[in-house]
Structure 1
Amino acid sequence: MFFRAACLSGASPFALTLVLALSPSIAKAASPTQLPTVDVNGAGAPAPSAPEPLAIGADNPPPIVQKYQLPQQVETITSQEIEQTINLKDPEDAIKYLPSLFVRKRNDGDNQAVLATRTWGVNSSARTLIYADDILLSALINNNNTNGSPHWNLVAPESIARIDFLEGPYAAAYPGNSIGGVLLITTKMPDQLLMTAKQTESIQPFNQYGTNHTFVTHQTSAALGDRHENFSWLLNFNYLDSYAQPLTYTTSATIPAGTAGTFLALNKQGLAANVLGTGALTHSQQIVTNLKLAYDFTPWLQGRYTLGFWSNDQNSNPVSYLTSTATGGPTFGGVAGFAGNNYQWTEKHLANALSLASDTHGAFDFDVAISTYNYLTDIQRYPFTVTPTGIGFSEIGKVQRMDGTNWQNADLKGVYRPFGINGPNELSFGLHGDRYVLNNPTYQTPAWNFGSDVGNGQFYSNGQGKTETGALWAQDMWKILPNLKLTVGTRLETWNAFDGLNVSTTTSSAGAITGTKSVFQPREHSANASPKASLTWSVTPEWDVIGSFGEAYRYPTVGELYQTVTSGSAIVIPNPNLTPEQDLSTEVNVERKWADGKVRLSIFQETVHNALISQTNFVNAGSTQVAVTSVGNIDAIRNQGVELAAQKNNVLFKGVELFGNITYVDARILSDPTWAGSNPLTGKPDTVVGKRVPYVPDWRSTIGVTYRPDTHWAFTVAARYSGKQYSTLDNTDIIPHVYGAFDRFIVVDTRIHYDATENVAFDFGIDNLNNEKYFLFHPFPGRTFVADARIKF
């Protein structure tokens, strides 16, 4: 069963449903297209909890391993579908047409690309789990769209074999971070000698405020691997050289004295936020290297080892739009905000994973997986301020580090089938343990752009701490009747946060330290049980009805508890007294299937108590506006909505595939007795009860079509839409199309894929064909031209 999962926009969902309902005669009359689309395992499908390595060169990757029966819906996209329909520059590009998913990717090689799901937005990185084989890419040290962003960069785009998305917290096998869902990336392994190379070029003309420039990305990928009897290996390499459009702007409530060139503007709440120049204007050079080893001890027992290394050398050089009225020359106008956006950032991260898995298809199977992720080097250097006149920076500056930050995960899973693999009962169970360590000191240095990686200067501030989680889970699946299946389970968890330390300083205007304060934070503990249940009724071979319930506890991350972050002119304030959020999710799915298509209607609701919500506001700090983010527990919120997804091959003509999805979410704050804010324009007290939950758009949709006239060509056009969303609890961000706003947008993408020979392929595409200008806090890319060529030896 193949299903192209994506979103529907600009057309009535009921019209698409009607087309699909009236098309079975077309499906019977026309043979399926030769090229497969997306393989979807419906609700109650086996979970890809320990996928086998997939053979490179297989035209149609096998279905996910049928080991652990999980109750939630699973959407899947294969490497062949990705290659034909998506302009793939980063691994996260591969999922942009899956139902209700959105990745906040600001530029090629973005290391802050958060996955948003249908009920959680772009600041909810800890509410989804992302794995590459056995390595957890989710950075559960935080829950935001900066240092909590997933480490997609560890996956070379060309190494992807398939991606599976598991919806919601309905499986006991996954922790409460699965509230938004679980994304599983399976990479390839060779079955014979393999050598591939690919070159990708990306060009983006960009014109906004005082910036009018063309930004270019070069990307080179290569793979080498082989299989020798029971042993297989694969080495992937990816190099990316990327110049990004301005990611931020430097703003001020006033026009700096003695300057010209300011662009008058407002911020998202209607207050003055005049644009003085760019903020982060980055050049990144990234290297990804992955080594995978696999050994078949027996036909049913395999061991795997994965080593991943990622490095990033990034610098940002802000450009001022200001000129001096006295001299006519360029100037920063004495605005210190430019200094925080002039930085050098060096990152080197290392990941390891070791696993042993059985696949007997008998009464018992097991998986064991251990993974680690380490920040070997993570150093950001920037000046303290700008010189009083002209274009220049102070020698005194700061060095912010995250070296030593790390995490470890260990899982032991088993499955017992008392009546055999096709029997009516399956009991799965497991143990889980994890540990997260945050280390984030900042030093003041007399010469910020010189010096070694040690001896950085005077200790300035620190945020550090640890969290640990242990879990025991079990899940039982019974086929009560041949067409009725009940799955029940529970997850028992214990969580601890400890060794929290915060150090802060006060400084003079010149940067001299005038005082230091250290606070040892209290230890936190919680123990919880999370029941799950799902009932699947196969009414007929074509119709399925599934109802699911899941409770989940999402524990505060070590960053939310302890980390103070200064990035450019943005500041994040931690809260060491946060408590776990409790999520109660329900969902009903009704699904109709055809031989070459499918339509699904899902109705869902989440009620979250003690929801951990962050919000960002601009405050005036002298002549600069500073973005300040804080996190708190919101008493109760509710996210409820409906999702319609559909796909059909051979629509009207053979080789024409139509796919789409539309989702509506009513996300509301039900109670927040601690709120004490006021409207920034009127200054009068306000309430957040009844307001929309931040970062959750009301509508999200996509509609697309792919035409495959033969086995060589594929032509795709897809349009993606996102509706209104707020970033403040009181929904006072009402000004669109300004820096800091979260805009509605519609973006059209195109791609032409051509298989010249069995071993040579060419692609050309345009992302954001309509050149939509929109902000999701940051300005997002305009029209971007993408071309690539791939050869397999």
Structure 2
Amino acid sequence: MKVRAWVWAGWACFALQDAVADDSAVLLPEMSVSQTTSSLVAGNPSPQAEVSAQQIENINVINTEDALKYVPSLNIRKRYIGDRNSIISARTSVGAIPSATSLVYADGLLLSNLLGNSYSYPPRWSMVGAEEIEHVDVLYGPFSALLPGNSIGATVLLTTRRPQRTEVYAKAQAFQENFALYATDASYGGYQTQASAGLKTGNWRVSLLANQLDAHGHPMTFANTTTVKTGAGVVATGYQLDTDTTGAPRYVYAATSIDHTLQDTAKIRAEYAFSADTRLALTLAQFSNDAYSASSSYLRDATGNPIYTSTNVAVGVNQYIQVKASDFGVTKSDSLNRMLGLSFASKLTDTWRLEAVATDYGTPSDIAKSPNNGVSSGGGGAGTITYGDHSGWRNFDIKGIWQLAATRHVVTTGYHVDQYDYSSLKYDASSWQSAASITTLNTRAVGSTRTDALFAQDVWKLAPRWELTTGVRQERWQAFGGAYYDKSNTALNGSFASREQNYTSPKAALTWKASPDWLLRASLARAYRMPTVTELYGTQTDNAGNKTLADGMLRPEKVLAGDLTAEGVVGDGSARVSLFLENKADYIYQQKTSVAPIVTSYQNIGKTRVWGVETAYVGNDVGMPGLDVQASLTYTGSEVLEDAGHPEYAGRALAIPKWRASAFVTYRFDAVWSMSGGIRYATAQPSLDPAVVNPNTYGGTSGYTVADARVNYRFRNYLTAAIGVDNIGNEKYYAYHPYPQQTWHAELRIAY
């Protein structure tokens, strides 16, 4: 968001080169400048935004992803505090579900879970505590050869604080959401405690983080039906009547997926400086999650007792709806995640730097248990136990950066490799809470993908006012080891043949310093978003019989992206205007049937197009001392150009809001008091299904206008208290699931 610093840095570079070209220019004394910003930022020919640690202090941040609330064109699908499925939608991302079209890194280590492309595969935000963030950089589009094709949406680079001395930080937060929908009217809350410390001694820098979150979420789903049958039923009260996304009458009879989560994070990062220009860093992190998802029936029998069994409930004269015990689902899940990261950076000579980073992310334990008959099963009863152990990823990047001043070139070359391994084994169990009661294998899905890439990028100063960036990324993609078993449908069982394909992605960008205050940059790039392991092999069947069908022959998404950006000084701040265009072939789309049991299938759509304009402004001390403003407005158009499988889709808009906007204002009254407020706005997402006429309800993806506020008070230099509220107006809005309603925050922070 804070693009101003980068704009000034760019102008300074151009101005310095103009001065060098002028023999009469005065030579300044040599200066030494150090910074922790990734080289991906400095050399990336993309529109950019930034969030600083100071800005984060003025935002209601519980989970790390909250820091991105007001970044232009970004939406984080966070449904409640403690949500593990918070995925990113960027300006060209289709829908609120795809997760593999954006990237998240922390200190160069990959946090994006590219095992899949849905809400089930979000970035591992919990590996970073909000308290340890120094700044966040956001890059839009696949315009750098240094990044894989998953950058087609946005790339988020989290940089944590490097200790400069002995430092201690601690924070305690409490929160409460007031939630009312259908027959649910309750408060859901929790707390978070976070402590971090840093030590600098000699050549060592050591950072520690410990975090615990205990949160109760509101209901995520609601048991419902639109099917009314003829016949007699049991008299019951409590069901709610509304209309679904197609406008059909809908009976809602239970709140489900009511989550209680206990999350713990522990991390250590140790960095050793061999010299002023050479350092090695090791990161060890562990995240555990224990969660229980419950259901609450709205139905009451004639004696006032709740109904949790299979029942035909009367809804009219000789009419009934069929209620199943499995509708009142219960799930217990426990997972343990571990990350090992190693990074190395060295300035080998005055003109040559070497950087390398490796990540190993795994799940030593991942267990989900669920009864077949929901709440009625109580503590026992038959059910299923699913193991996702040993799924994870490993990746490695190494690059050399040559600064050739004599020829005005900066050349970066390197090698990338990644491997994603997926395993899901679901067993039937005679007692759903006991692993010892496992009987037979229900379903099994396994598989792996690997990508090897060579990349090169050259930044060439053509003239004092012109800069040309060219690059190419050559990738070899492999899919192997895929196999599936389903005891209920043996026709799907079998192994998948291995695949290997090669792809070339050229990139180019031209920058012109149009005036001392403005830059103009045109960028063009080809990129490939490879199918994920679960899109290829992750066929699944849930306890209700709903199926997700993978496709081992999916083709990669082929993207041609363009961007024209102007950025410069406006009044007391900086502004950016970006025109963007994305043509995509073989877009991987999730098609769902509308009648239970629901079948979701992955398929390639022929051709799509997305275009739009994004504007952003950042200003400090705007109009008066102490007033900081950041704002953005984005318009996006889209359409399906061609789809042989569904020709009726041609000409229809993709699931991208036409309008998105955000604004965030902070006013510092003095050194003690500050107040901030923000607004987030988006229009409803279109649907390819012409039957969807009512997006502003549960099951739809609605528009929204949400306002937030916060007040900070500093008692001492080291002690700060804050109180805030999100969704002041208690807006009810949805991304299929309901988003948070009015939520209050209280915080006490120590920084020493």
Quote the offset at 1:403 in angstroms.
0.5
Quote the offset at 1:440 in angstroms.
0.6
Counterparts of residues 328-407 of structure 1 (less than 5 Å): 328-334=304-310, 335-336=323-324, 338=326, 341-359=329-347, 362-386=350-374, 395-407=381-393
- Is 1:585 aligned to residue 561 of structure 2? yes
Counterparts of residues 89-488 of structure 1 (less than 5 Å): 89-120=62-93, 121-146=95-120, 148-254=121-227, 257-258=233-234, 259-325=236-302, 327-334=303-310, 335-336=323-324, 338=326, 341-359=329-347, 362-386=350-374, 395-419=381-405, 424-451=408-435, 456-488=438-470
Q: Check whether the contact 1:339–1:382 (CA below 8 A) recurs between aligned residues.
A: no
CA distance in 2, matches of 1:549, 1:42: 23
- Is 1:708 aligned to residue 668 of structure 2? yes
Quote the offset at 1:392 in angstroms.
5.3
- Is 1:620 aligned to residue 596 of structure 2? yes
Larger mean Cα displacement after TM superposition, 356-365 or 429-438: 356-365
CA distance in 2, matches of 1:392, 1:377: 25
CA distance in 2, matches of 1:571, 1:375: 24
Give 1:720's aligned amino acid. Answer: R
Counterparts of residues 542-557 of structure 1 (less than 5 Å): 542-557=517-532
Q: Check whether the contact 1:43–1:73 (CA below 8 A) recurs between aligned residues.
A: no
Q: Where does the alignment leave 5 or more consecutive residues of structure 2 unmatched?
A: 14-32, 311-322
CA 1:159 to 1:779, structure 2 compared with 1: closer, same or farther past 3 Å?
Answer: same
CA 1:63 to 1:451, structure 2 compared with 1: closer, same or farther past 3 Å?
Answer: closer
- Is 1:649 aligned to residue 608 of structure 2? no
Task: Identify the match of residue 629 of structure 2 among 648, 651, 658.
Answer: 658
CA distance in 1, matches of 2:218, 2:12: 42
CA 1:61 to 1:741, structure 2 compared with 1: closer, same or farther past 3 Å?
Answer: farther
- Is 1:692 aligned to residue 668 of structure 2? no
Give 1:123's aligned amino acid. Answer: I
CA 1:787 to 1:386, structure 2 compared with 1: closer, same or farther past 3 Å?
Answer: closer
Count matched residues. 714
CA distance in 2, matches of 1:578, 1:63: 40
Residue of structure 2 in register with 1:602 after alignment: 578
Task: Identify the match of residue 538 of structure 2 among 544, 547, 563.
Answer: 563
Q: Check whether the contact 2:131–2:169 (CA below 8 A) recurs between aligned residues.
A: no
CA distance in 1, matches of 2:39, 2:587: 35
Task: Identify the match of residue 636 of structure 1 among 604, 607, 626.
Answer: 607
Residue of structure 1 in register with 2:728 after alignment: 769
Give 1:173's aligned amino acid. Answer: L
Residue of structure 1 in register with 2:481 after alignment: 499
Secondary structure of 1:690's match?
coil
Residue of structure 2 in register with 1:673 after alignment: 644
Residue of structure 2 in register with 1:576 after alignment: 552
Runs (4+) of structure 1 exceeding 3 A deviation are 37-46, 60-63, 65-68, 254-257, 335-340, 390-394, 565-571, 615-618
CA distance in 2, matches of 1:463, 1:44: 53
**Sequence identity percentage:** 31
Secondary structure of 1:131's match?
strand
Give 1:348's aligned amino acid. Answer: L
Q: Check whether the contact 1:109–1:153 (CA below 8 A) recurs between aligned residues.
A: no
Q: What is the TM-score normalised by the length of structure 1?
A: 0.86
Q: Deviations over 1:28-72 (max 9, x none)?
A: xxxxxxxxx9766888999xxxxxxxxxxxxx9956255862211
Secondary structure of 1:539's match?
strand
Task: Identify the match of residue 718 of structure 2 among 759, 764, 768.
Answer: 759
Give 1:112's aligned amino acid. Answer: N
CA distance in 1, matches of 2:423, 2:8: 41
Q: Deviations over 1:316-351 (max 9, x none)?
A: 1100001124x4321125134645730100010001
CA distance in 1, matches of 2:38, 2:646: 48
Secondary structure of 1:93's match?
helix
Give 1:293's aligned amino acid. Answer: A
Residue of structure 2 in register with 1:529 after alignment: 504
Give 2:205's aligned amino acid. Answer: S
Larger mean Cα displacement after TM superposition, 404-413 or 259-268: 259-268
Quote the offset at 1:159 in angstroms.
1.3
CA distance in 2, matches of 1:90, 1:616: 31
CA distance in 1, matches of 2:52, 2:665: 17
CA distance in 1, matches of 2:36, 2:430: 58
Quote the offset at 1:189 in angstroms.
2.5
Q: Where does the alignment leave 5 or more consecutive residues of structure 1 unmatched?
A: 6-36, 47-59, 508-514, 677-686
Secondary structure of 2:295's match?
coil
CA distance in 1, matches of 2:542, 2:52: 37
Quote the offset at 1:714 in angstroms.
2.1
Q: Check whether the contact 2:328–2:374 (CA below 8 A) recurs between aligned residues.
A: no
CA distance in 1, matches of 2:132, 2:459: 34
Secondary structure of 1:341's match?
coil
Secondary structure of 1:318's match?
strand
Q: Higher strand fraction: Structure 1 or Structure 2?
A: 2
Quote the offset at 1:517 in angstroms.
5.5
Residue of structure 2 in register with 1:12 after alignment: none
Q: Check whether the contact 1:61–1:78 (CA below 8 A) recurs between aligned residues.
A: no
Secondary structure of 1:215's match?
strand
Secondary structure of 2:92's match?
coil
Q: Check whether the contact 2:297–2:328 (CA below 8 A) recurs between aligned residues.
A: no
Quote the offset at 1:732 in angstroms.
3.0
CA distance in 2, matches of 1:584, 1:715: 43
- Is 1:77 aligned to residue 51 of structure 2? yes
Give 1:637's aligned amino acid. Answer: T
Larger mean Cα displacement after TM superposition, 735-744 or 211-220: 735-744
Give 1:665's aligned amino acid. Answer: T
Q: Deviations over 1:481-506 (max 9, x none)?
A: 10100011100001011111111122
CA 1:461 to 1:674, structure 2 compared with 1: closer, same or farther past 3 Å?
Answer: same
Quote the offset at 1:715 in angstroms.
1.1
Quote the offset at 1:304 in angstroms.
0.3
Quote the offset at 1:620 in angstroms.
2.4
Higher relative contact order (CA 8 A, sep 6+): 1
Secondary structure of 2:131's match?
helix
CA distance in 1, matches of 2:87, 2:9: 26
Q: Check whether the contact 2:308–2:328 (CA below 8 A) recurs between aligned residues.
A: no
Quote the offset at 1:575 in angstroms.
1.4
Larger mean Cα displacement after TM superposition, 434-443 or 225-234: 225-234
CA distance in 2, matches of 1:770, 1:250: 27
Q: Deviations over 1:95-139 (max 9, x none)?
A: 111111110001111110001101104222111110111321111
